[in-house]
Amino acid sequence: MHLFDAKTRFYGGNAIVGGGLPIAVGLALADKMRAQNRVTCCFFGDGAVAEGEFHECLNLAALWKLPVLFVCENNLYAMGTRLDFAQSTTDVSKKAAAYGIAAEAVDGMDVLAVETRAKRAIANIRAGTGPYFLECRTYRFRAHSMYDPELYRSKAEVEEWKKRDPISNLVSLLKQQGAISDAGLAEIERDVAKELDDAVAYAEAGTWEPLADLERFVYSERRPS
């Protein structure tokens, strides 16, 4: 949730629902003011659509024609609340369109479809047309957290959605096309597992932040000259 890597221009997750939206708008505004040909991509869930900052940020992005790609990962459940219990209009892309933003929905369970639409969206943004909104209609297989008993949906519903697992379906397609073999897939999975193990080991071997730094950056570090 709090990962951050400036070198790869990954500006982090956010513990606040919808908290990444104003950050993305700020980054895009900075890029526009500096005349840098960049696109800020902001990911959030359907739960964030109920937040006031969602509407504030879409309005400003449209008003200032900011280079932002808003990607809503609509998995139908905001923590444990079904979409149609919280939203009077469940077509999220229409909310963005109401602000004059180019918006569309895509099958979020289809990796290649998402890639195609995302490339088109980014091309439009780079052409100077302003923000773009992509609603990826997907599904969450697991519980929201380890404390989530999942009483808001049935196991049968989850199993039905698993038949459309985007990773499994993409692997099957790649195998059919001869783009990957079982041995090649196993090698990728080993590499990924090692990378994750190395990352965990690095973190566990790290040291705690010094107590003296506890209040750093709470206020500006700048001092009057």
Q: Which of 84-118 are b and which e, b meaning 16 or more Cβ less than 10 Å from the residue's Cβ?
A: eeebeeeebbebbeebebbbebbebbbeeebeebb
What digits encode the pLDDT tens for the residues 109-156? 999 999 999 999 999 999 999 999 999 999 999 999 889 999 999 999
β-strand 102-107 against 81-82: which pairing, if any? unpaired
CATH number, domain of 86, equals: 3.40.50.970
Answer yes or no: do 108 and 65 share one domain.
Answer: yes
pTM assigned to the model: 0.88
Answer yes or no: do 66 and 126 share one domain.
Answer: yes
Answer yes or no: do 151 and 202 share one domain.
Answer: no
Measure the CA–CA gap between 143 and 136, rounded to whole angstroms.
19
What burial class does residue 121 get, using C-beta atoms within 10 Å of its C-beta: 0-12 exposed, 13-18 middle, 19+ buried?
buried
Number of domains in the chain: 2
pLDDT of residue 93: 97
pLDDT of residue 224: 64
Domain span at residue 102? 6-163
Q: What mean pLDDT is predicted for residues 160-167?
A: 96
SS3 content of the chain, % helix, strand, coil (to 5): 50, 15, 40
In a domain, 61, yes or no: yes
In a domain, 170, yes or no: no
Domain boundary among 163, 188, 217: 163
Contact criterion met (CB below 8 Å) for 72 and 49: yes
Answer yes or no: do 33 and 104 share one domain.
Answer: yes
